[in-house]
Amino acid sequence: MQYMITSKAQLNDGFAMPRFGLGTFLSDAGQATQDAVSWALAAGYRHIDTARIYGNERDVGWAVRESGIPRSDIFITTKVWNDDQGYDSTLRACEASLKRLRMDYVDLYLIHWPVAGRRSETWKALVRLKQSGEVRSIGVSNYMIRHLEELLSETDIVPAVNQFELSPFLQRKKLVAYCRERGILVESYSTLGRGQKLTDVRLAAIGRKYGKTPAQVALRWALQSDIAVIPKSVHKERILENAAIFDFDIAPDDMRAMAELDEDYSVIPAAWDPETSDQWA
């Protein structure tokens, strides 16, 4: 059996990131996020993914402090939002995030989306934040191959992570291979297809073989594909369900069957599609 809930992936900058964490998009500010993060930490999660735009950084920071778990044992990701992109504005945005989190560093700071005309300056600010220690690792999100090619032609610092939508129904095999060849860790979001694909009968059939739910099969599939996952839930029973994936292996023939589930299914509206929308030209 490979991996435990705390298993880490080595990043290209010497730091390491737990392969499994809690997502918090659409996790309401206040009690909902405080409870979700508290339940997750109590269940053994050691990686929390937030963002300025989610509006819940304060609650994430509160739950981390309340847990009594040393800060150094928890991996925190936050992200610079689109309207904060640019050099100086990114430096300010990071400072504001740290203030809301009440932390003196974050483990991973990501460019949330590859905003046209601004992303290059934003990356320079991330490099500066890494040098000054406010952030340990820096990375990108929603970067497709063309965005990565542009970035790598402009910098010596290769992003540690690329976080993008990926699930059994949207496998992005070329982008995954591109990242892997360059030492960029792939982190999947919407691995559960935001719950929209959990009724798929093929996923359910594989789950039955192992006594696991479709959500657990989707998450385990990603881990076994060397992809980090951050499933979101604000319900305790689902937070526990999503973490109960470290006591089984999907057999190679089922992994091969799952490779066939890829159907380019995305939960992102077309206007935000990182492959095609003009916003990210």
Ligand X SMILES: NC(=O)c1ccc[n+]([C@@H]2O[C@H](COP(=O)([O-])OP(=O)(O)OC[C@H]3O[C@@H](n4cnc5c(N)ncnc54)[C@H](OP(=O)(O)O)[C@@H]3O)[C@@H](O)[C@H]2O)c1
* Catalytic positions: 54
Give the residue with the Cβ less far from ligand X, 82 or 89: 82
49 binds ligand X (CB under 6 A): yes
231 binds ligand X (CB under 6 A): yes
189 binds ligand X (CB under 6 A): yes
33 binds ligand X (CB under 6 A): no
Task: Give me the least distance between CB of 36 and ligand X, in Å please.
Answer: 8
CA 189 to chain centre: 5
Task: Give me the least distance between CB of 44 and ligand X, in Å please.
Answer: 16
Among 19, 118, 136, 238, which residue interacts with ligand X (rule: CB under 6 A)?
238
85 binds ligand X (CB under 6 A): no
235 binds ligand X (CB under 6 A): yes
232 binds ligand X (CB under 6 A): yes
3 binds ligand X (CB under 6 A): no
List interacting residues with ligand X (CB under 6 A).
23-25, 49, 112, 141-142, 163, 189-195, 198, 215, 230-235, 238, 241-242
